[in-house]
Structure 1
């Protein structure tokens, strides 16, 4: 098993997740069993998930990198396999860090032969001008690039340097657009573009690059998927995927309020969809349990107490929360003002969620913090402000006992309270001498006088209106009501 320093240093050298905080490279063991957890996923994203675990959790590092290498060797992605072997070597697992060169050579040759065959078939289809055959040939070629990770980059070719990896597969899938003849063909292409864009995003994040463009492409393709024009029975299967993948992309961009709204709109049918146009997004990208966690955390961090009660616990999203009872319990604790218990429960699952490839990724909006860190900070801020709203004066010692400071500094609670006041989240002032937080005093006397004056004005206006009505009747100017209660055309009584 790698030591603390040995697990951190290769991660820093490789910059697999270069924007994550240093603490996230030494996470304690999670509550789940790694083998059971890995069995929930498959496809090209699984090795990337395991790679994220290996870098950030020293206690599971060897097991995770071993599973990732084993899975990569069963695929055709030679570049991913050699990369994982290099990572294992830098994590000081020498027995796992030696690649099988015979397998690498055989697989590379096989990939080249298959690529040459598919390109030849596509050229023949284009010469014959058979549109459907061209679409299928282009799709087969793009799928080959997807499962092999794209052609190896050629250092001597500038054009290919920018188009290596999954971006080649994305471009190849995009070319099928011109040959799609039915809405179902368009929907199939959009699903493949969504999946490939998410793979690009995760690969880019683990390489220390920017993933904003890939998430933006995912959101755009999800929007097109909703308006693809397919039949109603097929659209029912596409809508859950579009909502879930849009939510993941908004989460990746750090847009937590919109992500929460999108996750809450995801139909529970996502849990039982299975493969749609050849891809099971519940296993290839995120399970229904993951959607429950993503949506629950985003909602808890951004929504008001009443919205949590009405839209989360009382809405259709509750069906997702039933899959993750601890997430449902945390939201229930917050809505009943049990803030300390809520935060303690969330902290218990901090490692689990930080080891998720989407939640544990860096948030571009807040320095080097991961999405989990940002969401936890927002939930803590909301809890503190809601707690203080019930008091006119609270001591820092009492506040610290309810919300233990994150750091061990003796002035940590004072600095946190001052930060909330300066940011405008907390309407109060800090008495440093006495160690108290004082809410602004409300002038109850002046408020009562104001309410009484407004009530008197309303009564005076009502009495004047009644007096005007009496004068109109006494002057004989009142218009009598028709006996039959009907009006003729032109405004005259019949």
Structure 2
């Protein structure tokens, strides 16, 4: 690594960025061809800011992508990164002529579209107003004004008149919310889309819905819900219907990884390996299917090795990057727990051989799992072995019986009290109690009156 790259990644590390020193297994040109729209730049810039081997190539591609759009802020950001990482590259200098002409065009286009929309509103033609709002929103989105674009897309709602228009508005708003990483708004807009699409475009819209919902759940670290959304993605949907946000390969990776992190062996077999719809996506990423199969078959070390071989790829994904440490930790914990089920005592050397990481002794990981309650076991640091703590079935049965007896006693006392009141010719009735914020009706406030 030369001095410029070293300075660049030192600055990225100081800012809390993720630095990936291993070479990923994908080809950058083939990888970025799977996408269209603004996500292409986002992915290229992330790779340029994170991957040591691909830094310069990704930043140069990001600059070229930015110049094909009208977002000058993105262009400045990419050039500034390349200027620090590789100042000798021709692209590391600002194209001042392009910047000035693009910014002038953006101002003129914004003024023109705003004037047209004002004219449509004066004429009170709903379809023209809808199209005017959409044109202005798309322009603002292309220039990087996502807040303004979201506002204009929202203003289309009163003027939509067909199910297709309703679905289009929802797609626009979901796409912008994903770019803003506003996961709550993604879910809100998806719920409004509902079943507004026609049978003709049902496959494409349903795939977009499932993938967007999965990304929203992933952003909120709801791994099981996210996995189920990706696993239900329609394989018949055309790629063009959702490649503004993800590719079919991404669906396979997201669904498989999150399922591994959140499902047990039976559910993995049922919902992933035996799922005929998701099998179409799994065929695109054989290593994900192999890792899941290895986990289901009890080959936990091989499963972890398969995933570790592709860690660099996942750390360069815009949606997965921040979640990879937790996802991998959850999968490792599951593998260790499943591995220990048949044994009452295992030596730490055996566990180190199966799951050890060169830079981290297995004892620290086991200690963390025991503290978190994930693993019921004890570590003997003198004899260097781990003893699992098996549940005592007799003790559990006794505790359950005692709880049942206590519940029965409380219910019996309550029934006897009510029977005594009824025998004394007293009547029990609830009444309404005035609270600080209105009237609250509750059976907890009983009034006893003489019958």
Confirm or deny a common fold (TM above 0.5). Answer: yes
Show the counterpart of 2:325.
373
8 A contact 1:177–1:189 mirrored in 2: yes
Q: Is the 8 A contact 1:118 1:137 kept in 2?
A: yes
Q: Which residue of 2 aligns with 1:82?
A: 76
Please name the residue that 2:274 is paired with. 314
Task: Map Cα deviations across residues 78-114 of structure 1 (whole Å, 9 max, x no partner).
Answer: 1111111112112243433211001111111111111
The 1:317/1:2 distance shift into structure 2, 3 A limit, reads farther
Match of 1:393 in 2: 345
Q: Please name the residue that 2:57 is paired with.
A: 63
Q: What's the CA shift string for 1:260-308, capped at 9, x where partnerless?
A: 11111111123x253xxxxx422x2101110100000000011000000
Q: 2:309 aligns with which of 348, 354, 368?
A: 348
Secondary structure at the counterpart of residue 298 of structure 2 = coil
Give unpaired runs (5+ residues) of structure 1.
151-165, 202-213, 275-279, 361-369, 451-494
Note if 1:434 corresponds to 2:383.
Answer: yes
Alignment of 1:130-279 (within 5 A): 130-150=125-145, 166-201=146-181, 214-228=182-196, 230-270=197-237, 272-274=238-240
Deviations 1:392-439, CA, capped at 9 Å, x for gaps = 10011110000013634xxx2112111111211111111111111112
8 Å contact 1:7–1:58 — kept in the other structure? no
Q: CA deviation at 1:441?
A: 5.5
Q: Is residue 404 from structure 1 mapped to residue 356 from structure 2 by the alignment? A: yes
SS at match of 2:386: strand
Q: Which residue number in structure 1 is paired with residue 445 of structure 2?
A: none
Q: Secondary structure at the match of 2:379?
A: strand
SS at match of 2:54: helix
SS of the aligned residue for 1:59 comes to coil
Unaligned runs of 5+ in 2: 399-451
- Conservation of the 8 A alpha-carbon contact between 1:50 and 1:64: yes
* One of 263, 274, 297 as aligned partner of 1:336: 297
Establish whether residue 294 from structure 1 lines up as the match of residue 246 from structure 2.
no
What is the alpha-carbon distance in structure 2 between the residues aligned to residue 79 and residue 273 of structure 1? 29
Distance 1:406 1:41 in 2: 37
Q: Is the 8 A contact 2:207 2:242 kept in 1?
A: no
Q: Note if contact 2:44-2:61 (Cα within 8 Å) is conserved in structure 1.
A: yes
Distance 1:43 1:231, change over 3 A: closer
Distance 1:263 1:2, change over 3 A: farther
- Alignment deviations for residues 112-131 of structure 1 (CA, whole Å, 9 cap, x no partner): 11111101100100111111
On the 8 A contact 1:56/1:355 being kept in 2, the answer is yes
C-alpha distance 252-406 of structure 1, shift in aligned 2 (>3 A): farther
RMSD: 2.0
Q: TM-score, normalised by structure 2?
A: 0.83
Q: Is the 8 A contact 1:119 1:141 kept in 2?
A: yes
Aligned equivalents of 2:201, 2:28: Cα separation in 1? 35
Tell me if structure 1 keeps the 8 A contact 2:13–2:19. no
Helix, strand or coil for the counterpart of 1:394?
strand
Aligned residues of 2:47 and 2:55 also touching (Cα < 8 A): yes
CA distance in 2 between partners of 1:37 and 1:404 (Å): 32
User: Partners of 1:128 and 1:29 in 2: how far apart?
Assistant: 59
Match of 1:415 in 2: 364
Runs of 4+ in 1 over 4 A off after TM superposition: 1-4, 441-444
Aligned mates of 1:326, 1:49 — CA distance in 2: 22
Choose the corresponding residue for 2:107, options 99, 104, 112.
112
Q: CA–CA distance in 1 between the matches of 2:13 and 2:80? A: 14
Does the 8 A contact of 2:376 with 2:390 survive in 1?
Answer: no
C-alpha change, 1:443 and 1:112, in structure 2 (3 Å) is closer
Give the SS at the match of 2:192: helix
Q: Alpha-carbon deviation of 1:139?
A: 0.4
